[in-house]
A and B are shown apart, each in its own frame.
Chain A
Amino acid sequence: MKNLQYFFPLIILGILLSIPLIAPNPFILQLLISIFIFGQVSESWDLGMGYLGLFNFGHLAFFAIGAYTSGILALYFGVSPWLALILSSLLTFIIGLLFSLVTIRAGSFAFSLISFAFQSMFLHWVRGGGGPAPGKMGEGGATFTGGTLGLGAIIPIPHMQIGSIAITTGINKIPAYYFTLILFVISTYTMYKLVNSRFGLAAVALRDSRTYAISRGINPLTYNVIFISFSTFFAGLAGSTYAHLMGVISPEIIGWSNLVLMCCIVEFGGLGTLFGPAAASFLITSLTYFLAGLSAYKNIIIALMMLFTLLLWPTGLAGAASWFKSWFLKKRERFKWIRF
């Protein structure tokens, strides 16, 4: 049974690897690229929200910090996009570390509120005063970030290159597809290892019973800070990838609608399961894409679907999966032909 834990992930990985060979449809590839990026963001959010029970409202702000830093470094300072990717993720890690070091002491409710304030302040700064007029240059951070127009709107953010192969979302999306897939797999695996390590043990212990965990020698601040800063690191990595792939970042990516959507994805997938949010981001992003023809009704349909799923399985998709698993084991006789 021990090898079985990698069985399904490897099958899924195999399918994902072969998709460009079977169906090199640019729309499908584009959809999967954004699923990988937002899957990574929702997984990293789950690291803090699910495993620590700390609701980091400003998680998308860290995504944006990664994106904007990477874009600014590459656009204005001529830094190589690869170096910008590393530097911006590291910067996000450091900002996340400092941010959590200061705010987690205040307790979990205050942490949520402060992170929400952080998110709003950051959005305001990026927009440059937040006036309704687009492209209001020269105020706040808008000098660097391009205001509401977005960074890279005039001159696009340079994309990454391996030799002569460009990783972009232009016509040939296959390099970009594999690049985001590899990043997604590496970060998912790292997060999986992290939550199953002794650090994950400390985090789960602190979430389940803080007093008991402390009385067994866990320093709450240290392990909370470690988890939050790793979660911001992966968000920054995803943000930086996003910036270089799309070539343009607008403040909308951390706007209210995106924040709620990502939050729903994590809740819908199942808190503290890591694969749940990834699966949910796959489901919801593709539904949004395929139901696009229904315009306004699509949101109603998606919302109803999420509501009913959560009514049936309050722990989200992960709960549904474990329900089906136990149902399957119960009816094993009927499925005898599948050998385990």
Chain B
Amino acid sequence: MDTILECQEVSKFFGDFAALDNVSFSVPRGIIFGIAGPNGAGKTTLFNVITCNPFPPSSGKVIFNGEEIQELKSYEIVHRGIARTFQTPVIFKNLTYFKSVMVGSIYGNLTNLKHNVFGFDRHRYEKKALESLERVGITSKKDDFTQHASLYDLKLLMIASALATNPSLLCLDEPVSGLTDHEIELIWELISNIYKDLGITTIIIEHIMKFLMNISDEVIILNFGKVVCKGMPKNVANDEEVIKCYLGDEYKRVLKDMER
């Protein structure tokens, strides 16, 4: 299995504080990869340095499809094929659902201003945007404005606009935080469907360990900017150090419940 994304000794310093401290891991192509850890462990910072948005790593290498991307601008990284969503929902509040996805569809695929001015095929991008809206199941709302959308809709919308950029690596930052149990189940189904149908390698940051264990093929646990443990989700959840620093003793009981 070849590697789609590789982080080599990636560090990020804010002043003296190391948000990420020599983090190294690799993501094989075609799996769902989970990143977990307590609050402030550096999970979102890891996404930020991978996509260089809003900041690049202080040191280390990020290799995507055999190319070093840590020096690139974040919009160039999107054109290479990494699309991300955000933990706190961000919206274009003056645009409709459809237009928001069109932003991803047009600008995620157009790499050059020249292509934007000459020979622009609007129809193709509209088709792509509608396709993405349909995949997450919010086609009926396409002409509504995003300003008053619910949290669930916003999470779906972010995934739709990420899909519209034709990614080969999808980075989801806490896709289910703040949602109800029923909505969590729907998003889980959606992510597995996207993975099954399109075969996009997916990285998921998540707090809810149960969600992550059900969905992912491989997991790393971060704590204080360091990789504590990596491997299959089952093995990780049983790891002594992970239980100590993150899951807590109570989790053993949950684990037993799940096995039952």
* B78 and A201 contacting across the interface, CB-CB below 8 Å: no
A-side binding surface: helix, strand, loop or mixed? helix
For residue B110, which residues in chain A have a CB less than 8 angstroms away from its CB?
217
* A201 and B51 contacting across the interface, CB-CB below 8 Å: no
* A217 and B90 contacting across the interface, CB-CB below 8 Å: no
Q: Chain A 205-221 against B: per-residue CB contact (8 Å), 1 yes, 0 no?
A: 10111011111111110
- Among B8-16, B97-105, B231-239, the one that faces the other chain is B97-105
**B66 at the A interface (CB under 8 A):** no
Q: How far is the CB of A275 from chain B (nearest CB, A)?
A: 16
**B210 at the A interface (CB under 8 A):** no
**B258 at the A interface (CB under 8 A):** no
**A272 at the B interface (CB under 8 A):** yes
**Bound Cα distance from A164 to B86, whole angstroms:** 65
* B74 and A205 contacting across the interface, CB-CB below 8 Å: no
* B91 and A205 contacting across the interface, CB-CB below 8 Å: no
Q: Which residue of A lies closest to B101 (CB)?
A: A216
* B113 and A216 contacting across the interface, CB-CB below 8 Å: no
For residue B107, which residues in chain A have a CB less than 8 angstroms away from its CB?
202, 213, 216-218
Chain A 171-209 residues near chain B, CB threshold 8 A: 198-199, 201-202, 204-205, 207-209
* B92 and A218 contacting across the interface, CB-CB below 8 Å: no
**Bound Cα distance from A219 to B75, whole angstroms:** 6
* A216 and B53 contacting across the interface, CB-CB below 8 Å: no
**Bound Cα distance from A202 to B93, whole angstroms:** 13
* B92 and A212 contacting across the interface, CB-CB below 8 Å: yes
* B92 and A217 contacting across the interface, CB-CB below 8 Å: no
For residue B79, which residues in chain A have a CB less than 8 angstroms away from its CB?
217
Q: Which of A207, A216, A222 contacts B165 (CB 8 A)?
A: A216
The chain B residues found within 8 Å of chain A, CB to CB, are 51, 53-54, 73-75, 78-79, 83-84, 86, 90-95, 99-100, 102-104, 106-110, 113, 116, 120, 122, 161-162, 165
19 CB < 8 A contacts A-B: A198-B122, A199-B116, A201-B99, A201-B106, A202-B107, A205-B103, A208-B95, A211-B53, A211-B86, A212-B90, A215-B53, A215-B84, A216-B103, A216-B162, A217-B165, A218-B75, A218-B103, A220-B75, A222-B113
Kindly list 9 other residue pairs between chains A and B, CB separation below 8 angstroms, not including A204-B95, A212-B92, A213-B107: A198-B116, A202-B103, A212-B86, A213-B92, A216-B162, A217-B108, A217-B109, A218-B107, A219-B75
